Homo-oligomer: A and B are copies of this chain.
Amino acid sequence: MDKIQRVGSLASVKRLPAYLRLLMQIKEVGRDIVSSNYIAEKLKLDAIQVRKDLATTGIEGKPKVGYQVSALINAIESFLGWDSNREAFLVGVGNLGSALLGYEGFEAHGMKIIAAFDTDEGKIGRQIHGKNVLPLDKLTDLARRMNIKMGIITVTADQAQHVANVMVAGGIEAIWNFAPVSLEVPEGIIAQNEDLSSGLAVLSVKTVRLLDS
């Protein structure tokens, strides 16, 4: 039971950014109240699921009325900690790293990438999307001095563990890992893998029937 609960709420958490985006749009056009049915229709979800997902943030809608849009936005942002401002370092300024450096959504989500690191002499010293690219061997010291607690890894699989070690040595406590490899980190450190192959796996399973039949 505990396990089912956990999976359920993790899925809810993953949907919260989509709710937040929709609510921002609704707020922009000046609407104060929104129903779970409307949200469900827009996001192609079940209305019961919507109410359950949103309840994880502590907010419940009024029956036959709906949710207060601003209150719901605040509740989601606060639940996710996106109303705070956490600074992060990114390591690996290839195509994916550059894409993340340029992604404007992160700052709205309480995460600010303040510097990038690489070992490539051709990249060090450059600016990418306004962020300086620094040598990797400066990371540990800088993270300690600037009290950085979040790190993003966008290097290749064979380099990722080394980068994680460097981050942990610098006091970084939460690692968002885009390299296709599981990281070994000390207890108390959070390492979350963002595996693009996982998305392809889901798409593949959904399409195997459609495309091969």
Copies of this chain, count: 2
- Is the pair A174, B206 in contact by a Cβ cutoff of 8 Å? yes
The size class of the interface chain A forms with chain B is 35 or more
Most chain B C-beta atoms within 10 Å of own C-beta, residue among A86, A197, A205 = A197
Residues of B within 8 A of A17 (CB): 180, 195, 197-198, 200-201
* Docked-complex contact A204 and B95, CB < 8 angstroms: no
A198–B15 contact, CB under 8 A?
Answer: yes
The docked-state distance in angstroms from the alpha carbon of A96 to that of B97 is 9
Contact assessment for A192 and B206 in the assembled complex, using a CB-CB cutoff below 8 Å? yes
Q: Which residues of B contact A46 (CB under 8 A)?
A: 3
Report the bound CA distance from A203 to B175 in whole Å: 8
Interface positions of A (Cβ within 8 A of B):
3-4, 7-8, 10-11, 13-18, 21-22, 42-44, 46, 49, 79-82, 84, 86, 94-96, 98-100, 102-103, 105-106, 109-111, 149-150, 173-174, 176, 180-182, 188, 190, 192-208, 210-212
